[in-house]
């Protein structure tokens, strides 16, 4: 099986499933995020895990083709950078996160983009 499809089969459904409750209730998203952002150790640990996941993607799928597979490469690099930021500066990340939680339109748009990302990957992986 091609690497792009294999990764899309893993990421797409998870992202799509995680975005559905957040689309239905921004309150749930805010509640989860606020609890997460209160814990510096959790931010740090998630950074390590996200960075490892991103490096796994980048090391197996660093393709810059102008098609749907570019989404996977960009996602992998975003995970590496986002994970590194959480490890290096967890309190800074918490501050940025808290500021974003007060912006309803930004949150709503982000969750919709997240769902579309999951939908696109799921489509290309399974159909």
Full pLDDT tens readout for the chain, 127 residues: 699 999 999 999 999 999 999 999 888 889 999 999 999 999 999 999 999 999 999 999 999 999 999 999 999 999 999 999 999 999 999 999 999 998 999 999 999 999 999 999 999 999 9
* pLDDT at residue 1, rounded to an integer: 66
Give how far Cα 5 sits from Cα of 2, 39, 54, 102, Å.
6, 35, 16, 36
Give how many domains the chain has, as a whole number: 1
Domain range enclosing 21:
3-126
What is the pTM (predicted TM-score) of this model?
A: 0.92
Quick one: pLDDT at residue 61? 95
66, 51 contact by CB (below 8 A): no
Structure tokens of 38? 């209160």
């Amino acid at each position: 099986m091609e690497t792009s499809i294999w990764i899309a089969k893993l990421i797409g459904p998870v992202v799509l499933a995680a975005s559905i409750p957040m689309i239905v209730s921004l309150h749930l998203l805010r509640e989860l995020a606020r609890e997460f952002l209160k814990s510096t150790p959790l931010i740090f640990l998630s950074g390590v895990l996200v960075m490892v996941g991103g490096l796994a993607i980048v090391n197996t799928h660093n393709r810059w083709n102008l098609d749907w597979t570019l989404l996977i490469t960009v996602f992998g690099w975003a995970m590496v950078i986002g994970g590194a930021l959480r490890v290096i500066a967890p309190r800074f990340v918490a501050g940025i996160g808290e500021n974003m939680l007060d912006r309803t339109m930004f949150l709503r748009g982000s969750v919709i983009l997240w769902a579309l990302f999951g939908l696109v990957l799921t489509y290309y992986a399974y159909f």
